[in-house]
Chain A
Amino acid sequence: MRQHSHVLVCGGTGCTSGGCKALTAELKKQLAVNNLTEEVGLIVTGCFGLCALGPVVVIYPEGSFYEKVKVADIAEIVSEHLVKGKPVERLLHTEGSGDTEVQSFADTSFYKSQLRVALRLCGLIDPECIDEYIGYDGYTAYPKAVAMSRQQVIDTIKDSGLRGRGGAGFSSGLKWQFAHDAPGKQKYVVVNADEGDPGAFMDRSILEGDPHAVIEAMMIAGYAIGATKGVVYVRAEYPIAVGRLEIALKQARQYGILGKNAMGLKNDFDIEIRLGAGAFVCGEETALLASAEGRRGEPRQRPPFPAIKGMFDMPTLINNVETIANITQIINNGAEWFKGIGTEKSKGTKVFALGGKIKNIGLVEIPMGTTLRTVVEEIGGGCPKGKKFKAAQTGGPSGGCIPASHMDIPIDFDSLVSIGSMMGSGGLIVLDEDNCMVDIAKFFLEFTVDESCGKCTPCRVGNKRLLEILEKLTDGKGEQGDIEKMEKLCHYIKENSLCGLGQTAPNPVLSTLKYFRDEYDAHVCDKKCPSGVCKNLLSFSILDNCIGCTLCKRVCPVDAISGELKQLHTIDQAKCIKCGLCVDKCPKKSIIK
């Protein structure tokens, strides 16, 4: 029998920490109470994308989008919506103004401008059920690929114009060709799921929401380059992604879809999982291979590239999760279809993890060439509390900032590089007027200094020295010439580091210097932080229009404020710890930074 409704509960990492497991249990209970277990399907899916509104529940056939659902709401959803067909309006997603509930989630401005290719089935199927993947045309691309010659498969990928989504944007087809052409007894296909950029969760969400798409694509890649072994290198700290991938591999083997002569086709391929311990440098391909082989995760000089000499010195194809998630659809729909999406030199779509000062924090997939404005204002819903957009940080610790003046730039590999940022793996952190750019550069540099493996001196020592200068600036001890010294050091580190980590580590500093030099100057010359973030450069004072309400005095944790009722208050600068509590409390806005 066909079930009349399907209840989809988001089981991504965000919604899981929001308590979706308890929701699922309660749904199960309430469905049983209302005698609906047979008629209503309950499916735990991967990420829907709107993580800020989680836990998310979507009910089909209506497509009703319920946000921030609590256990206490479940009984009402079941008895009203599922029994009587009346959606519970108070829980439906609302757009901006807050007065119109959006009945169907396909109509939200968050989803309207998106195009889901890599995330096609995320939030639509149960990732722990292989049948559902098969039902949505899963495992049709592999037989199709095996019916072609190896070279034909590679040519299709080359034609499609697919470029690596891990950050560098190298042609995937060419990479496949190199691995195919390289001689070697045992070749490998490795998928890089060591996603480490702060605020990025694209690859992890694909593994959580649609693991079979990755497995099938690896099988295709294995056939194309002549590899019989595949490895997924994934972080142990992503337990849901690892768990679902393990289940998917087990089910695929049970069905005879993976393994020797799978599906009765003459080709061997099997996949194993290697867990990473969470070192950022292991996202770099040579360090990843070292770690996957069981050695210390340190990069080595390239060339030789992994396509020639990779895993156990054998020809190895390394692709990022998002890159490989496009493969089955390129095979099924053809290179021409994929070429039709995107810009001249960047084809297809890109997944971004939206974070920072933005309303709709979550996961979005857009066609290449979409402007930053569309992503931030339309899909992301703009900065909360009506604050002014200042910049977007792309590419994480290796990337740079895009200032508000470049908001209409189309997002693709080459345009982002032309303005001093980079696509990166897909983290997109939105900064508003309250963010200090020097502080942001410091944050990312702290991260790379922590994560530097220490093998080469420019990265190990250079970045540390760079960070020290930044700390000097934010402490108010900056001197004339510091900025110039930093610039020189940045270029030195970029030119001399061994691997991508060091070569890109100074990017956040360089790009903020390029667009926000005035903020650096203010830190050095005026000893001021224009955004009011760097505490050592702040001093709070009370204006004459103070009404003496004593609110600030009462909230101050260190008793730095003195003054009688209805008298002008004053702040003792020696005691003040610059916590800002008084600023938030003052009804007359008399306290300024």
Chain B
Amino acid sequence: MKTLNELQEIRKQVKNQVANRGIVSNSATNIVVSMDTCGINAGAKNVLKAFNAETYRLNLLDIIIAQSGCGGDCKLEPVVYVTKDGVKTTYANITPEKAVRIINEHIVGGKIIKEFINA
């Protein structure tokens, strides 16, 4: 028999898994990974995976991670757009390692990582 605590544990885990079943809107914190052929070729798939894995690990529920088509600047791929508190930041040449830092420093820490922005 499942006890109330065990049910709470399932609840927490499922909430974490279905966090993506929200809808992208301007008010929520969201991360959009550019995923057209150019982006995928430059490694965007692993970047997307890294974002999902890290938000799952940290149990961040109100972050929406979505994909988009090509933004036009193919040589800067993988490009990632982060919107937090209404401010949109564009990061270029993102790797899975950089993705982990974006989650920890920008999303959690609230600090934009200047060195990832293409000047």
Contact = CB atoms under 8 A, between A and B. Distances in A.
A50 to B, nearest CB: 16
Given A63-B24, A131-B13, A265-B4, 7 more contacts: A61-B21, A61-B24, A61-B30, A84-B69, A132-B14, A135-B13, A264-B4
A43 to B, nearest CB: 9
A337 interface: no
Interface string B28-51: 001001111100100000001100
A41 B16 CA distance: 13
B67 A4 contact: yes
B90 interface: no
Which of A6, A84, A143, A263 has the most chain B CB atoms inside 10 A of its CB? Answer: A84
Interface residues on A, range: 35 or more
A62 B19 contact: no
Nearest to B34: A85
Contacts of B16: 2
Main secondary structure of the interface of A (DSSP, over half): loop
Nearest to B66: A61
A30 interface: no
Interface in A1-56: 1-6, 8, 39, 41
B20 A4 contact: yes
B20 A137 contact: no
B110 interface: no
Interface string A63-78: 1000000000000000
Interface in A225-265: 255-257, 261-265
A318 to B, nearest CB: 29
A257 B53 CA distance: 31
A134 B17 contact: no
9 contacts: A1-B52, A3-B17, A4-B49, A6-B20, A41-B17, A84-B37, A104-B23, A135-B17, A255-B2
Given A61-B64, A84-B40, A135 B23 contact: no
B22 interface: yes
A106 interface: yes
Contacts of A148: none
Contacts of B66: 61-62, 85
A131 B20 contact: no
B55 interface: yes
A2 B48 CA distance: 11
Interface of A: 1-6, 8, 39, 41, 60-63, 83-86, 104, 106, 124, 131-132, 134-140, 143, 255-257, 261-265
A263 B7 contact: yes
Contact of B36 (A84, A104, A143): A84
Contacts of A261: 1
A132 B16 CA distance: 11
A238 B35 CA distance: 43
A2 B36 contact: no
A124 B14 CA distance: 13
Contacts of A104: 23-24
A124 B52 contact: no
Nearest to A262: B1
Contacts of B11: 134-135, 137-138, 140
A45 to B, nearest CB: 10
A62 B68 CA distance: 10
Contact of A85 (B21, B49, B68): B68
Contacts of A83: 35, 40
A166 B65 CA distance: 42
A27 to B, nearest CB: 17
Nearest to A87: B69
A426 to B, nearest CB: 27
B15 interface: yes
Contact of B14 (A4, A84, A134): A134
A86 B3 contact: no
B117 interface: no
A84 B2 CA distance: 41
A256 B2 contact: yes
Contacts of A143: 4
Which of B18, B35, B68 has the most chain A CB atoms inside 10 A of its CB? Answer: B18
B19 A85 contact: no
Nearest to A86: B69
A85 B20 contact: no
Nearest to B30: A61
Nearest to B32: A85
Nearest to B28: A61
4 tightest Cβ-Cβ pairs between the two chains A and B: A135-B14, A85-B67, A256-B1, A2-B56
Given A2-B56, A83-B35, A135 B18 contact: yes
A421 to B, nearest CB: 37
B10 interface: yes
A139 B11 CA distance: 10
A2 B52 contact: yes
A542 B16 CA distance: 70
A86 B2 contact: no
A39 B44 CA distance: 14
Contacts of B48: 4, 39
Given A61-B22, A62-B66, A106-B23, A135 B10 contact: yes
Given A61-B21, A63-B24, A2 B1 contact: no
Given A2-B20, A135-B15, A263 B4 contact: yes
Contact of A60 (B4, B21, B53): B21
A6 B69 contact: no
A139 B3 CA distance: 11
Contact of A2 (B17, B35, B40, B67): B17
Contacts of B69: 84-86
Contact of A61 (B10, B20, B34): B20
A135 B19 CA distance: 10
Nearest to A132: B14
A131 B11 CA distance: 7
Contacts of B3: 263-264
B35 A60 contact: no
Contacts of B17: 2-3, 41, 135
